[in-house]
A and B are shown apart, each in its own frame.
Chain A
Amino acid sequence: MTHHRHSQQSAPLIEMRDVHKSFGANAVLNGVSLSVRDGGVVCIIGPSGSGKSTILRCINGLMSIDRGTIRVGSFAVETLKSDKALVPLRHQVAMVFQQYNLFPHRTVLQNLTMAPVQVLGEKPAAVRERALALLAKVRLTGKQDAYPGELSGGQQQRVAIARALAMQPNVILFDEVTAALDPEMVSEVLNVIRDLAREGMTCVLVTHEMRFAQEVADEVFFTDRGVIVEHGPPGTLFQNPTDPRLKAFLEKVL
């Protein structure tokens, strides 16, 4: 796999500027700015409650923001208010969750085909073919007629990744996707993400897998108390952290 990554000079695919978000009196994001280039692989690390998952949910409009701007491709996310206006954005930005968030009442194959058919209005036959190819890609051929509840956590998470891919997105947001998995299942999920990153899929990962972040990310962002404290290429960030909060965090997790 020697896919070309887009040049560093091109305009970023995702750009957040000075984003603020509070839940009541609880300020979660206090001016977050970050950018991700097309084809980039970015990891967001930081202590729990530092706003990592909230950043992801703001990027695909699952949460509205109080202040600042978020641009994804040609979309100004903070201006999209109605469900209908959000459909093109969610077509472009898919998300994979810690708890998989699959549809338990539908088979694996239906989990992949539902949204492209029901939301994007694509032809069922074409979607079905694409879905079967995606199941092969995440090494779940033969499981298409199983229900999510019949699969292991690692298998369910791979279904969730395939479901995200079935939307043919430009970006996938990964929200601590291995945090709920038994240790022996972590690698099967990380392998799939690694393949995607190598193929040039733009990925934003919130993760506690520091070694994986070091391996796949072009850039790592460290968040604490709702701001980006430090960011840079993984080599620099992990080997020569400057901020004392990052140093303290890395001492604990590495």
Chain B
Amino acid sequence: MTLDFSWLLDPLYQTWLLRGIGTTILLSLLGMVLMFVIGIVGAALLHLKVRFLQSPVTIFVELFRNTPPLVQLFFLYFMLSEIGLTLTDPVTGGRIPLFTGFTCVVLSLGLYNGAIAVEIIRSGLLAVPAQTVEGARSLGYSRLQTFRHVELPIGLRMSIPPMTSNIVSLIKTSSQAVLVAVADIMYGATQIMLETFRNLEVMLLIWVIYLAIASLAVLVVRRIAAAFRIPGYGS
């Protein structure tokens, strides 16, 4: 068996791959933003025991954490296109669908990994010592101020290790974008395979690319964790 990577020299394939990498990274970054918003808001509502909102958050978490992300993506894609919300393009005046495949992938990543993030951040908040909270309360901090200035900053730091694997999971899950026709790295790879039939070589490359993106993400998180490390605290 000989591996043939000569197709890599084709500028068209290079463009597909590079655009695909860009799309994958953009999907992941936007998904992460949504994941963090959902994770922090959800964990806050549960932690602060906000009346009437606790049960909906719990149902949301169970629903999105315990079902396959692909099922969620297809559901979102077909349900939202059914609703058929459109935007008017300011340049051409044409109607474009509000929920494109791209939007649906970002939403699905944010919801799926956000549901997991709720639980991760919540356990981080629970790891903040009760004494630290009592110290804040004794100084006049309200429940909300205590959360914002004491529990959240410490709890988020505590949630970094499990959050790192959640971020990697999000990057990997973004590869299902290809299934709703978003031109991510997997999409580019599929196109190249269809034209060259070098399936093994293309998949080897894709494997390496995902590994590189995920490793880069882990590296960035490590830098952030180091920058926010609390001297002399914990391990």
Contacts of B134 in A (CB 8 A): 62, 97, 101
Fill in one digit per residue for B131-155: 1 if any A CB lies within 8 Å of its CB, else 0.
1101111111111110001100110
Complexed CA–CA distance, A90 and B140 (Å): 5
Fill in one digit per residue for A77-104: 1 if any B CB lies within 8 Å of its CB, else 0.
0000001101100110011010111111
Contacts of B129 in A (CB 8 A): 99
B232 adjacent to A101 (CB under 8 Å): no
Chain B minimum-CB-distance residue to A82: B142
Q: Closest CB-CB distance, B168 to chain A, in whole Å? A: 26
A7 contacts the other chain (Cβ, under 8 Å)?
no
B230 contacts the other chain (Cβ, under 8 Å)?
yes
B231 contacts the other chain (Cβ, under 8 Å)?
yes
B19 contacts the other chain (Cβ, under 8 Å)?
no
User: How many residues of B sit at the interface, in one of the four size bands?
Assistant: 20 to 34
B139 adjacent to A149 (CB under 8 Å): no
B138 adjacent to A62 (CB under 8 Å): yes
Task: Spot the interface stretch: A113-121, A215-223, A224-232.
Answer: A113-121
B157 contacts the other chain (Cβ, under 8 Å)?
yes
Complexed CA–CA distance, A102 and B133 (Å): 9
Chain A interface, number of residues (Cβ within 8 angstroms): 32
A101 adjacent to B230 (CB under 8 Å): no
A147 adjacent to B231 (CB under 8 Å): yes
Complexed CA–CA distance, A150 and B157 (Å): 18
Complexed CA–CA distance, A100 and B230 (Å): 17
Complexed CA–CA distance, A94 and B140 (Å): 9
B131 adjacent to A83 (CB under 8 Å): no
B139 adjacent to A105 (CB under 8 Å): no
Complexed CA–CA distance, A160 and B132 (Å): 12
Mostly, the B contact residues are: helix
A178 contacts the other chain (Cβ, under 8 Å)?
no
Chain A minimum-CB-distance residue to B153: A105
Contacts of A95 in B (CB 8 A): 138
Quick one: which of B114-141 are within 8 Å of A by CB?
129, 131-132, 134-141
A202 contacts the other chain (Cβ, under 8 Å)?
no
Q: Closest CB-CB distance, B39 to chain A, in whole Å? A: 19
Q: Assuming A114-B149, A147-B230, A150-B232, is B157 touching A105 (CB within 8 A)?
A: yes
Contacts of A29 in B (CB 8 A): none
Complexed CA–CA distance, A147 and B154 (Å): 14
Q: Assuming A94-B138, A105-B157, is B143 touching A149 (CB within 8 A)?
A: no
Contacts of A60 in B (CB 8 A): 138
Chain A minimum-CB-distance residue to B139: A115
B145 adjacent to A101 (CB under 8 Å): no
Contacts of A83 in B (CB 8 A): 142-144
A148 contacts the other chain (Cβ, under 8 Å)?
yes
B233 contacts the other chain (Cβ, under 8 Å)?
yes
B140 adjacent to A101 (CB under 8 Å): no
Q: Assuming A104-B154, A104-B233, A147-B233, is B131 touching A120 (CB within 8 A)?
A: no
Complexed CA–CA distance, A103 and B231 (Å): 12
B132 adjacent to A149 (CB under 8 Å): no
Complexed CA–CA distance, A146 and B232 (Å): 10
B140 adjacent to A149 (CB under 8 Å): no
Quick one: which of A141-161 are within 8 Å of B by CB?
146-151, 160
Complexed CA–CA distance, A105 and B132 (Å): 10
Quick one: which of B180-201 are within 8 Å of A by CB?
none
13 contacts between A and B (CB under 8 A): A83-B144, A87-B140, A90-B137, A95-B138, A101-B131, A105-B157, A118-B145, A119-B140, A148-B233, A149-B231, A151-B232, A163-B139, A167-B139
Give the 9 A-B residue pairs with the shortest CB-CB distance, closest first. Answer: A149-B232, A101-B135, A83-B142, A90-B140, A115-B139, A150-B232, A119-B140, A149-B233, A147-B231
